Chain A
Amino acid sequence: MPDQGDATGRTGGSTGGVRSTPPAAVRIEGLWKRFGEQVAVAGIDLEIPAGRFIGLVGPNGAGKTTTLSMVTGLLRPDMGRVFVAGHDVWADPVEVKSRIGVLPEGLRLFERLSGRELLGYMGRLRGLPGEETDKRATQLLEVLDLAGSQHKLVVDYSTGMRKKIGLAAALLHNPEVLFLDEPFEGVDPVSAQTIRGVLERYTASGATVVFSSHVMELVESLCDWVAVMAGGHIRAAGPLADVRGDAPSLQNAFLELVGAQDRAAGDSLDWLGGGR
């Protein structure tokens, strides 16, 4: 594969600094995915430290969702390996699947179950005892402010409620690493605050949250470690301060990294507005 060397070369140099933390939560080695002629993920290497709030940022189409799908075992990579808590995702799914929780983008759920039924179902599929599942479900519904609509069918939930019930389903089995794809997209500020509170409490206990987003302010305020993706490559990775560098904000650093500054419309849109 041609530009693999290129990709690793550009990976931020600060990964070495975080090696002090015990085994990495996620280790990605030479991951590739191609859809037809389009290369979605072009050979990425990344080591994500455990016990942190990790942000995976990048413009639309950067390969964030594809990467997260491959890391969580939902999409088979063309090449490369992924380790979660030291276990190979594709060789040892038994060890990995019980240690991770996933909230994918799009969020298709079992629409014709109620919120409580969905949690009860997922817990039992995860092998939790029925009573324990129901106890955890009650608490999660309470904390996520869903207790009032627990008997409504998921099909009738709003976007924010769907994200919250999806998060509850992903947390139910107390995973070591939680992967969230755009968890705040389309979510109102109140629900976002609730989700945020739960996630902060969860990482404080030593668990790892990896979430993708393109809202830089959010990433800057939540994460202590970020990886920047663009065009299927990792452009930079490391503690927030290192990636931000001298730039005034993460937004500026990001635009610089993905090479998207100073892209104004010029006069190619001079028909837009004005003399109608």
Chain B
Amino acid sequence: MSTPVTAAAPAAPVTAVPALPLTPLFVRLKLSLLKNGLKGSSKRKAAWFGTLALALVVGFFVTLGLALLHGRAHAGTVVVILAAILALAWSFMPLFFPTGDETLDPSRLVMLPLRPRPLVRALLASSLVGIGPLFTLCLAVGSVVAVARGAAGAVFAVVAVPLLLLVYVSLARAVATANVRLLSSRKGRDLALLSGLLIAIGAQVANFASQRLFQPGGLAHLEPAEAVVRWLPPATAVGMVDSASKGDYAAAGAQLLLTLAALAGLLWFWERSLTKLMVTPDGSTLAAAAPRKDRDSGPGVWALLPGGRTGAAMQRTLRYVLRDPKTKSAWVTALAVGLIVPVFNALQGTGSLYLACFGAGMLGIQMYNQFGQDTSAFWMVAQTLSSPHDVFVEMRARAGALALVTVPYTVLVTAVTAALVGNWADFPTALGLALALLGAMLCTGALASARFPYSIPTDGAFKNVAPGQAGLAWLSIFGGMLASAVICAPVITVTVYFATTPEQHSLAWTVLPLGIAWATLASWAGLRLAAPLAARRIPEILTAVSKG
């Protein structure tokens, strides 16, 4: 008396090994997550398809450009350096921008009877699905086409493309996994500082490299670097195609072995970190178990802040800079890059006082997605926001907290750069311009916070992120930077006018009051425009920032 269903079901004992191959299953799972994640939000859908189209168009042209390098003198140098830059990008970008690569959260698979090795293989395959890998595939194809010659070159090229992709993806996963372990361990929270600094220095190295590149005969300068880099994986994958095309099969073989060794090493490290991560208690548990010194409840320096909502919101923002690992890391990066770029350039003798604007711009980015930075705790604030005036005061307080750090910091950086460059005459002008830029960033940041809120995953890189969100984040920040430059245009024009008209140079200091006035006006106008918009959209903003 059994139903057809039970009749069909085998009564065989359950085995621990899944009968289905894991890899295709994970790829299908990733595709379903991607598809379902895009459902419901037309904005994210537009952002995702926009990013896809952009990646395809840019990818196509870059591939074409690289392919056109075929046979040129410095083709090898360019593609080898490009491979190295891509490796850096793959290691660090995912830490800053939530990408679709994170749709699979391995900690959700803890309870399944999966062995680490097949799991890593399946996760690797599913990580290859996405816009980032697609774009990289285009670049990889272009790179090998640029250097491959002859039958041997072609054979190595065919091997090089998948190897490159696999190394990049496993590099990104290994770094992200290690970072989750860092961020969730109690000691590691302060290492957020370190990772911020590392990224700042990396950005500066990339800056120098690109400066060298655009100097006349710049490619020749890169050759010594290239000679080293072509022996560093994953650039070895491109290097081996070049070597094989030149008939140096021994070098090509060695480079192939190095690439394979790097891939194996990365996969081993990833597997080890993943296993550790999955069997270690969550960071919050560890933190709760450890003794923690009581926080001073006295008012202290906070008493200097204004009362009411303004003071409370400023205090909360500043406390989060110190206590929240993600916010802390972002701030440290901004502060470090803002200082390192002008100072290092000045030390190199290529500096300009106006590079001091960099710090103001980097910190101005923190104004973007203000409500998203509250994560889903935004409902607590939303409950208390009942009129556009409330929203105005709230956003003004947040901008105020940001300015409280950024304004003195900008003065400091500009002064240090002026001292290093030995150009105190232009100090007021540069400071005025930097402050105007900060004001413009606060203005566009406030508007973008109201118009394009998106959620930030709270812990590490593994929390699920809705697909298309990364596109939204990029769009909002880069669009905002562009708009800020436009808003600053009058101040920039005046600065350029004084800089290029020697007879008027004695009046250049007027840029400082002009910049301050412009910054005040721009941020006030931005907040005034953003407040009613945000007030009308509170439930929508709450939905947007609570996802994931």
Contacts and interface: CB of A to CB of B under 8 A. Distances in A.
B3 A268 contact: yes
Interface string A117-137: 100111011110110000000
B408 interface: no
A245 interface: no
A120 B312 contact: yes
Given A106-B376, A130-B307, A112 B320 contact: yes
Interface string A74-102: 11100000000000000001101110001
A110 B311 CA distance: 17
A212 to B, nearest CB: 16
A113 interface: yes
Interface stretch (A2-10, A11-19, A151-159, A197-205): A151-159
B105 interface: no
Contacts of B294: 151
Contact of B297 (A110, A116, A155, A270): A116
A267 B2 contact: yes
A116 B6 CA distance: 58
Contacts of B323: 112, 153
Interface in A11-38: 35-36
B543 A122 contact: no
Given A74-B542, A121-B315, A97 B386 contact: yes
Interface in B78-115: none
Interface in B306-345: 307-309, 311-313, 315-316, 319-320, 323-324
A45 B304 CA distance: 50
Contacts of B377: 108-111
Given A112-B319, A114-B295, A270 B539 contact: no
A73 B539 contact: yes
A109 B380 contact: yes
A36 B40 contact: yes
Interface stretch (B223-231, B284-292, B360-368, B516-524): B284-292
Interface residues on B, range: 35 or more
Contacts of B538: 73
A124 B542 CA distance: 21
A108 B307 contact: no
A275 interface: yes
Contacts of B1: 267
User: Which of A106, A117, A129, A275 has the most chain B CB within a 10 Å cutoff?
Assistant: A117
A113 B543 contact: no
B287 A108 contact: no
B382 interface: yes
A109 B376 CA distance: 8
A104 interface: yes
B5 interface: yes
A73 B394 CA distance: 18
Contacts of A275: 11
A110 B384 contact: no
A156 B319 contact: no
Nearest to A268: B3
Interface string B416-434: 0000000000000000000
Q: Which of B323, B384, B458, B546 has the most CB of A within 10 A?
A: B384
B538 to A, nearest CB: 8
A111 B189 CA distance: 15
Nearest to B9: A271
Given A106-B376, A112-B319, A112-B320, A151 B387 contact: no
Contact of A35 (B11, B40, B288): B40
Contact of B312 (A124, A151, A153): A124
A263 interface: no
B540 interface: yes
Given A35-B40, A108-B377, A155-B287, A96 B295 contact: no
A244 B39 CA distance: 41
A125 B384 contact: yes
A181 to B, nearest CB: 11
Given A36-B39, A271-B11, A98 B386 contact: yes
Contacts of B300: none
A127 B387 CA distance: 13
B381 interface: yes
A113 B316 contact: yes
A114 B293 CA distance: 12
A271 B10 CA distance: 10
A195 interface: no
B interface, over-half SS: helix
A270 B6 contact: yes
Interface in B493-548: 538-540, 542-543, 546
B383 interface: yes
A127 B309 contact: yes
B309 A124 contact: yes
A121 B316 contact: yes
Contacts of A62: none
Contacts of A120: 312
Contact of B539 (A74, A111, A153, A155): A74
A250 interface: no
B13 interface: yes
A70 to B, nearest CB: 9
B382 A156 contact: no
Nearest to B296: A151
Interface string B1-35: 11101100101010000000000000000000000
A152 B284 CA distance: 12
A151 B379 contact: no
Given A109-B380, A151-B297, A94 B542 contact: no
Contact of B319 (A73, A96, A113): A113
B316 A110 contact: yes
B245 interface: no
B39 A121 contact: no
A42 interface: no
A237 interface: no
A169 interface: yes
B380 A110 contact: yes
Instruction: Among A94, A97, A102, A116, find the residue whose CB has the most chain B CB atoms closer than 10 A.
Output: A97
B374 interface: yes
Contacts of A116: 297
A108 B292 contact: no
Given A75-B543, A108-B377, A156-B292, A93 B386 contact: yes
A80 B179 CA distance: 47
Interface in B432-476: 458
Interface string A231-272: 000000000000000000000000000000000000110110
A141 B458 CA distance: 27
A150 B296 CA distance: 11
A198 to B, nearest CB: 19
Contact of A76 (B375, B379, B386, B539): B539
Given A124-B309, A155-B287, A169 B380 contact: yes
Contacts of A124: 307-309, 311-312
15 contacts: A36-B40, A97-B383, A102-B379, A108-B377, A111-B324, A111-B458, A116-B297, A125-B381, A127-B308, A151-B297, A153-B287, A153-B292, A155-B284, A267-B1, A276-B13
Given A76-B540, A150-B297, 7 more contacts: A73-B538, A74-B539, A109-B377, A110-B380, A111-B458, A124-B307, A267-B1
Question: 5 tightest A-B contacts by CB?
Answer: A124-B312, A108-B376, A112-B323, A156-B288, A97-B386
